[in-house]
Amino acid sequence: MLRRIATAAVLIPIVVALIWYGSELVVAAVAAVVAILALVELFALGERHGLRAFRKWTIACTVLVFYSQYSTGLIQTRHVSQQVSIVRNVTGGHLSVVDVFLIFLFGCVFIGIATRRGLQEVLPALAISAAGLNFIVVPFSFIVRVNEITDIGRYLVLFTLVLIWVGDMAAYFVGRSIGRFPMARVLSPKKTWEGSVANLIASLLVAFVFAKWLGLNLTMYLIIAAAANIAGQAGDLIESTYKRGAGVKDSGGILPGHGGMLDRIDSLILASPVVWAFYQWLTSAHF
C-alpha cells in the first residue's frame, strides 16, 4: 500500500501537469508511449500461451493510430449555412483509423508470407496482434480525441482521469472493508458488488464537482460519468481475464505498487471512447 501511494503521489501531479500545460501533440505522443507499453505487456501475457505477435509491426501501427486520432481531431469544420460547410485540415496530412486498419491488415499478410511461417504460427500471431490493436490501442487512443475537443478538451480528460481514479479508490476501500458479495468470482475474486456500487457513486460525485466547477450541465455530466464508469469497470474485468488466463497477478512491474502499465490504464481503455462518444451525442442533441 505504501508503494502504491508513493507511486501515485509522484505520477498524478506529472499526469495532471502534462494534460494542463502540454500541447495536443505532446499529449498524443505520451499517450502513444503509454499504449505501446501496455501493448508490450499484453504480448508478454500472450506468449505464455504460445501467442507470438508481430510485435514491431503492431507497435508501428500503434503510432499510426495515434497520429490518425491526432490529425482527425484537428480537422476544422465551419458551417456557412444549413447546406454548406467548409472543412479545413490543419495538420497538413490526415490518416483515418480505417486506413490504419488496412495498412495493419496487409502488413500482417505480407509478414506472414515473407517469414514463411506455418499456419499454426501465423494465425495465433494475427490473433494476438489484432487483439492488441482492437482492445487496447484504438479505444485508448480516443483520449487524444477527447483532449482535442474545442475549449473543453483538457477539462474532459482530467474529468475522465479523476472519475476513474476516485472510483477505483472507493471500490478498493469499500470492497476491502464491507464487501461481501463477489462481483466476478472467476475473473477477479476480490471484486465485490459493494465496491462496484461505491465506484459508481464516487464517479457521480466527481461529475457533480466538475459540473459545478465549470458551470456545465450537471445531468449531462452525470450521464457521461455513469457510462464511463461502467465501461471502465468492464475494462478492468477484461484485463483481469487476460492476467488470470496467463496465470499472473500483474501485467508487469513498471509501476511499483500498481503492477504494469496495462494494470494502470485498464479502466481508461474503455472509458475514453465512451466519454468522447457520449459527449458528442449529448452536445449534438443539445442536452
191 pLDDT more than 90: no
What is the pLDDT averaged over residues 240-269?
84
Q: Whose grid coordinates read 447546406?
A: 83
User: What pLDDT sits at residue 79?
Assistant: 43
User: What pLDDT sits at residue 80?
Assistant: 42
pLDDT digits (tens, 9 = 90+) for 58-90: 999 999 999 999 998 877 544 444 444 444 455
28 pLDDT more than 90: yes
Residue 247 DSSP label: T
pTM as predicted: 0.89
Q: What is the mean pLDDT of the chain?
A: 88
Q: What span, in angstroms and rounded, lies between the C-alpha atoms of 126 and 146?
A: 30
- Going from N- to C-terminal start, the domains of the chain cover 2-284
Type of residue found at 158: L
Q: What span, in angstroms and rounded, lies between the C-alpha atoms of 108 and 125?
A: 9
Q: Which 3 state secondary structure label does DSSP give 22? A: coil
Judge contact between 166 and 203, C-beta under 8 A: yes
pLDDT digits (tens, 9 = 90+) for 201-239: 999 999 999 999 988 889 999 999 999 999 999 999 988
The alpha-helical segments, DSSP class H, found in 141-260 are: 142-147, 153-178, 193-214, 218-246
